[in-house]
Amino acid sequence: MEKIRLQARDGASAEILTHGAHVCSWIPANGEEQLFLSKKSEFCEGVAIRGGVPIVFPQFSNLGPLPKHGFARTANWHLVRSGQIEQGAAQAVFELKQTAASLAIWPHAFRAELVVTIAEQSLQLDFSVENHGDAELSFQSALHTYFQVNDIHTTRLHGLQGLRYRDTVTNVDDCVQADEVLTITAETDRIYADLIADVHIEQAHQVLQIRQAGFSDAVVWNPWLEKAAQISDLESHAYQHMICVEAASIMQPVVLAPGQVWAGMQLMSVDTK
């Protein structure tokens, strides 16, 4: 698997693997690593990477007959181009098309594209899917971003108040986020529907703003101690240093007519306090 290193003129950098078009590292200009990557992650063909930004497509979790979270995160993507673009930003473009293996489990011709752009304090991920077949297709998708945090106990999430969510831990639908601040104090696995505001991850030293478009939902996941201990490629105490906030389309799968294109975006920007 090939690793692409992006460097913007201002020093911001990112690393992306062709395996899964997987963003493994993002360091803003004059900043520190923002993505969590498990030290126990395996980097081998056919295996999903634990951390960074796995691309979930065309199925979320086990909500269908496909492998968990679909096949895009373990597929070999094609690098279309990479390098610096206007105003010193750096960008890499990857594409994935149907293969004999994907057609065997998901009978659709498609082209998926991930555009990774870094500059200054931000990372932008543009994900799109085009239906190349002659029949309608539908899919779920997520940018399953793992953020690195210094201490989960003092990390505060904003921007979810008033939203409906499905609690995947208790299997209760139609919960409502009452509080303005969400702190993680136990295993948390929630699908928030119909986002309206940006989500902010607040830590003592910085605030990371997450804006999304195209994707209607957001997933918040932390396995906490017991669940983490059951995940073989995650160190059991790593849960203290990670939080997944995923831009997702799950509740309402995306439906594409032949020739139609769908696009979703997750834009992350760091503001040091």
* Site for ligand TA6, rule CB under 6 A: 48, 61, 68-69, 144, 168, 189, 219, 221, 246
When the beta carbons of 6 and 152 are compared against ligand TA6, the nearer one is 152
CB of 136 to ligand TA6, least distance (A): 26
Residue among 96 and 228 whose Cβ is closer to ligand TA6: 228
243 closest CA partner among 208, 216, 271: 208
Minimum distance from residue 21 beta carbon to ligand TA6 (Å): 16
Which SS3 state, helix, strand or coil, does residue 18 take? coil
- Indicate the SS3 state at residue 44: coil
Q: What residues does 157 pair with on adjacent strands?
A: 182, 201
Of the candidates 74, 37, 69, 75, which has an alpha carbon nearest to the alpha carbon of residue 56?
Answer: 69
The 3-class secondary structure across 138-167, one letter per residue, is EEEEEECCEEECCCHHHCEEECCCCCEEEE
125 in Cβ contact with 265 (< 8 Å) = yes
Beta carbon nearer to ligand TA6, 10 or 187: 187
Q: State the minimum distance, in angstroms, from the CB of residue 219 to ligand TA6.
A: 5
* For ligand TA6, the closer CB: 47 or 267: 47
Q: Which is nearer to ligand TA6, 28 or 36 (CB)?
A: 36
- The answer to whether the Cα torsion of 198, 199, 203, 206 is positive or negative is negative
State which residue, 15 or 217, has the beta carbon closest to ligand TA6: 217
Q: Which is nearer to ligand TA6, 120 or 246 (CB)?
A: 246
Supply the minimum distance, in Å, between the C-beta of residue 166 and ligand TA6: 11
* C-alpha–C-alpha distance, residues 144 and 159, integer Å: 18
The closest residue (CB) to ligand TA6 is: 221
CB 200, min distance to ligand TA6, A: 19
For the CB of residue 102, give the shortest distance to ligand TA6 in the complex, in Å: 18
CB of 191 to ligand TA6, least distance (A): 8
Helix ranges (H only) for 106-257 are 224-229
Q: How far is the CB of 246 from ligand TA6 (least distance, A)?
A: 6
Cβ distance to ligand TA6 smaller for residue 108 or 144: 144
What phi and psi values does residue 169 have, to the nearest 5 degrees?
-75, -45
* CB-CB contact of 133 with 258 (8 Å): yes
243 contacts: CB under 8 Å, gap ≥ 6: 36, 146, 147, 149, 152, 155, 157, 184, 201, 220, 221, 222
